[in-house]
Each structure stands twice: as structure tokens, then as C-alpha cells.
């Protein structure tokens, strides 16, 4: 195997010091134009490729942002909405010349993932950042932005008003006369307590109260935000009861419900209504005609990455950034019959 060219090799052939060679690649302003050109020419002749780790170390940066996932990678990537958030983050990273590093839990431990992440800042997704993680972030002096998490004096967040959005979602269902309702919630304890689920359940309780109903009036079942989990949750509920409407906290789950109904000879909307939450834009899902609450995943990703870069550069940014949401009517939510 051919020996890797080093800066010592370049220095000897070019007639400059190792420090000058380092400056030529990392801080050209510190040497003359002629020296820089000579050193880079020799480096090219020798087939030298700068070590990115060494270069980033000299800059004091890793040149990467981390996207901390709440689930293992294979589960997270099954959700099209998570993919849209990643696209938004990735677009801003590309504009800044940064890499995007996906960080799943290490051995189901988010704190271990944070401790070992070689990034300049973190974006979390749907997580409550507990005391242990906060201590690690303080020790590492690492800025963090939370998507769909709780904001406070330390943590910046990008989200929608989940409580009001969920109230709107269930209100649409109740206005159409549905009273036998099955709610498929996000998990309340997926590695860390899910604050999204709590906020959205408060919204459901608000809508129920407006119609003189209590939370006891609905069936509640938890499921991860995946298509498969939606099918499994719907199957479990249908084995025990026959709701007139499924209300889910994720479009991926809602689409699983739609297909589970189809497998039983039932039509979403005509026989049992279904409403989702996210507003997935992926072309492969348009045929479902899903009624849903729309929140722009790419915008969440882009806004969170923009805030994180501002924090890395030392700029002041607001602690909480709210983005708009809306209701999109589809074929899967119709008026209660009878």
C-alpha cells in the first residue's frame, strides 16, 4: 500500500515549514500568495488530500450539525414527515458548507449519543431534554435547538401550537357528529417523556369540553409514528370496538389505519373516518386523500438549522419560534351517518 503523503513531505519538497503548509490549507492569509501557490502545487503533485479532522480541529469546529433522533434510525426513516424535517435541515447545512449527522440513541441511550456526537450543535426532535442531557450540553458548550420539544431559559424551540392544533383536529371530528372516537396517541415514554403527546392530549380535552364531553368518551391507544404501528393499533382497537372515527397524532399512523380498514373491506371516510396530523407531502401518499392537520416539516427543519447557525456564530435568537399550521380536508373524514 502506498504511503500516505504528509505535510512533512510537502514541506520538504516545497522548501517551507510544516506550519506554512498548514496555513496554506487552513489559513492562507497568514502566508504570502506565492508561498500558498507553491505549497498547493506541490501538494497536488504528491497527491495530498488534507485530513478533514485535522483541518476542522484547526478551525475549532467539526463542520457538522447533529440531528438527534428519538428512535432508532430504521424506525425514524420510515416516517415521511421526519424525512421532510431532515430535508429542511440538510438544505441549510448545505448552504453553510456543513454536513448533517443523524444521531440515533446509542444502546437506547440518548445521553450517550449526545456525549459522543462530533458536531458543533444539535437539533433534537420531539424530545424532552432531561437534566442529564443538559449537563452534557453545558460541559460541551454545545448549542441546541429543539423541534417539537419544550422551550425554557436554556433550550430554544421550533414548533407549532400543538395544543390548539390538536383542539382544531378533534373539533373537526366532533362537528361532524362523531362520538365513538379512537385516539392513537404518540408514545408517552419513548426513551424520554413525549411532551408532544401531552400537549396534544390537552388540546383534545379542550375540544371535548367544548362539546360537553370528557376524555373518558374516547378510546386512547399509544403507538410510535410509523405506518406499521398504525395498522397494529387499528387492528387492536377494531378487535374490541367499532369507532366511527380514528384520530391520530401522525400521518404515518393514519395511513396505516387506512390500509388496515381496507384489508377488512372497510373504506376510510365512507365506513369509518380517519384524520391524521402532519400534512405529509410525499407523492406516494397523495392517493390516500387524507384529512389532516398540516405543519410544514421542511420549514421546521430550515428554521431550526438557521437558529442553530446563528447561535454558533454568537447571535441572539428568540427562545421560541412558532410556525403556522392549518387543516387540510380530504376524503377520509366525513359526517357521521345515522
Mean pLDDT of all residues belonging to the chain: 85
pLDDT band at 194 (very low <50, low <70, confident <90, very high): very low
Bridge partner list, 147? 125, 158
Strand partners, 327: 293
Mean pLDDT on 108-122: 77
Concatenating the DSSP letter of every residue in 270-310 gives TTBEEEEEE----GGGGGG--EEEEE-HHHHHHHHHHHHHH
Instruction: Give the residue-averaged pLDDT of 162-182.
Output: 97
Report the SS3 class of residue 218.
Answer: strand
pLDDT at 138 over 80: no
Question: Does the pLDDT at position 220 exceed 70?
Answer: yes
Is the backbone of residue 186 left (phi > 0), alpha (psi -120 to 50) or beta? beta
pTM for the complete prediction?
0.78
Phi-psi region of 236 (alpha: psi -120 to 50; beta: other; left: phi over 0): alpha
pLDDT, tens only, 241-299: 999 999 999 999 999 999 999 999 999 999 999 999 999 875 555 556 899 999 999 99
Alpha-carbon distance of 70 to 90, in angstroms, equals 18
Most confident of the following: 9-23, 93-107, 180-194, 199-213: 199-213
| C-beta separation of 31 from 20 below 8 A | yes
Measured N-to-C along each axis, helices 18-26 and 7-14 cross at an angle, to the nearest 10 degrees, of 110
The H or E element containing residue 195 is helix 195-210
Average pLDDT over residues 287-315: 91
Rounded distance between C-alpha atoms, residue 104 and residue 101, angstroms? 10
- 150-170 pLDDT per residue, tens: 666 678 899 999 999 999 999
All structural domains of the chain: 7-59 (1.10.260), 64-160+297-324 (3.40.50.2300), 162-294 (3.40.50.2300)
Report pLDDT for 190: 40
Cα–Cα distance for residue pair 186/296, rounded to 1 Å: 19
How far is the C-alpha of 124 from the C-alpha of 326, rounded, in Å? Answer: 24
CB 162 within 8 A of CB 326: no
- E-strand stretches of the chain: 64-68, 99-103, 121-125, 144-147, 156-159, 181-185, 189-190, 192-193, 218-222, 245-248, 273-278, 291-295, 320-322, 325-328
Predicted confidence (pLDDT) at residue 52 exceeds the cutoff of 70 = no
Q: Biggest alpha carbon distance in the chain?
A: 90
Averaged pLDDT, 23-48: 82
Per-residue pLDDT, averaged over 19-48, amounts to 82
For residue 270, which of 203, 199, 333 has the smallest C-alpha distance? Answer: 333
- % of residues, the chain, pLDDT over 70: 86
Q: Taking Cα atoms as reference points, which of 272, 268, 294, 271 lies closest to residue 281? A: 294
Task: Indicate the DSSP class of residue 63.
Answer: S
Nearest Cα neighbor of 149 from 127, 123, 130 is 127
Confidence of residue 114 (pLDDT cuts 50, 70, 90): confident
Task: Tell me: pLDDT of 221 over 80.
Answer: yes
CA 241/CA 180 separation, integer angstroms = 9
Inform me whether the pLDDT recorded for 191 exceeds 70: no
Percent of the chain residues topping a pLDDT of 90: 46
The pLDDT assigned to 118 comes to 82
pLDDT at residue 106, as a whole number: 57
Rounded distance, CA 211 to CA 209, Å?
Answer: 5
Count the helices and strands in the chain (H runs, E runs). 13, 14
pLDDT at 1 over 60: no
Amino acid at each position: 500500500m502506498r504511503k500516505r503523503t504528509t505535510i512533512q513531505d510537502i514541506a520538504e519538497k516545497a522548501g517551507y515549514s510544516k506550519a506554512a503548509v498548514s496555513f496554506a490549507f487552513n489559513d492562507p492569509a497568514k502566508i504570502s500568495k506565492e508561498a500558498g501557490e507553491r505549497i498547493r502545487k506541490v501538494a497536488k503533485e504528491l497527491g495530498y488530500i488534507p485530513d478533514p479532522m485535522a483541518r476542522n480541529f484547526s478551525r475549532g469546529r467539526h463542520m457538522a450539525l447533529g440531528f438527534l433522533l428519538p428512535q432508532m434510525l430504521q424506525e425514524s426513516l420510515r416516517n415521511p414527515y421526519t424525512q421532510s424535517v431532515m430535508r429542511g435541515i440538510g438544505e441549510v447545512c448545505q448552504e453553510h458548507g456543513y454536513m448533517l449527522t443523524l444521531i440515533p440513541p446509542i444502546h437506547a441511550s440518548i445521553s450517550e449519543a449526545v456525549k459522543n456526537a462530533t458536531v458543533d450543535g444539535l437539533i433534537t426532535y420531539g424530545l424532552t431534554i432531561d437534566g442529564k442531557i443538559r449537563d452534557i450540553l453545558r460541559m460541551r458548550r454545545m448549542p441546541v435547538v429543539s423541534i417539537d420539544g419544550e422551550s425554557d431559559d436554556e433550550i430554544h424551540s421550533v414548533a407549532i401550537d400543538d395544543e390548539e392544533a390538536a383542539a382544531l383536529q378533534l373539533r373537526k371530528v366532533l362537528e361532524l357528529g362523531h362520538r365513538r372516537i379512537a385516539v392513537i396517541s404518540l408514545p408517552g415514554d419513548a426513551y424520554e417523556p413525549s411532551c408532544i403527546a401531552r400537549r396534544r392530549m390537552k388540546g383534545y380535552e379542550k375540544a371535548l369540553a367544548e362539546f360537553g364531553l370528557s376524555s373518558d368518551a374516547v378510546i386512547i391507544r399509544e403507538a410510535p409514528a410509523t405506518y406499521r404501528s398504525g395498522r397494529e393499533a387499528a387492528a387492536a382497537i377494531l378487535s374490541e370496538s367499532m369507532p366511527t372515527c380514528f384520530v391520530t397524532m401522525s400521518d404515518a399512523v393514519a395511513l396505516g389505519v387506512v390500509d388496515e380498514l381496507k384489508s377488512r373491506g372497510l373504506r376510510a371516510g365512507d365506513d369509518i373516518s380517519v384524520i391524521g396530523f402532519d400534512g405529509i407531502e410525499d407523492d406516494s401518499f397523495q392517493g390516500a386523500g387524507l384529512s389532516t392537520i398540516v405543519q410544514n416539516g421542511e420549514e421546521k427543519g430550515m428554521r431550526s438549522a438557521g437558529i442553530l447557525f446563528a447561535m454558533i456564530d454568537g447571535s441572539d435568537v428568540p427562545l421560541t419560534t412558532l410556525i403556522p399550521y392549518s387543516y387540510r380536508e380530504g376524503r377520509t373524514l366525513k359526517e357521521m351517518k345515522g
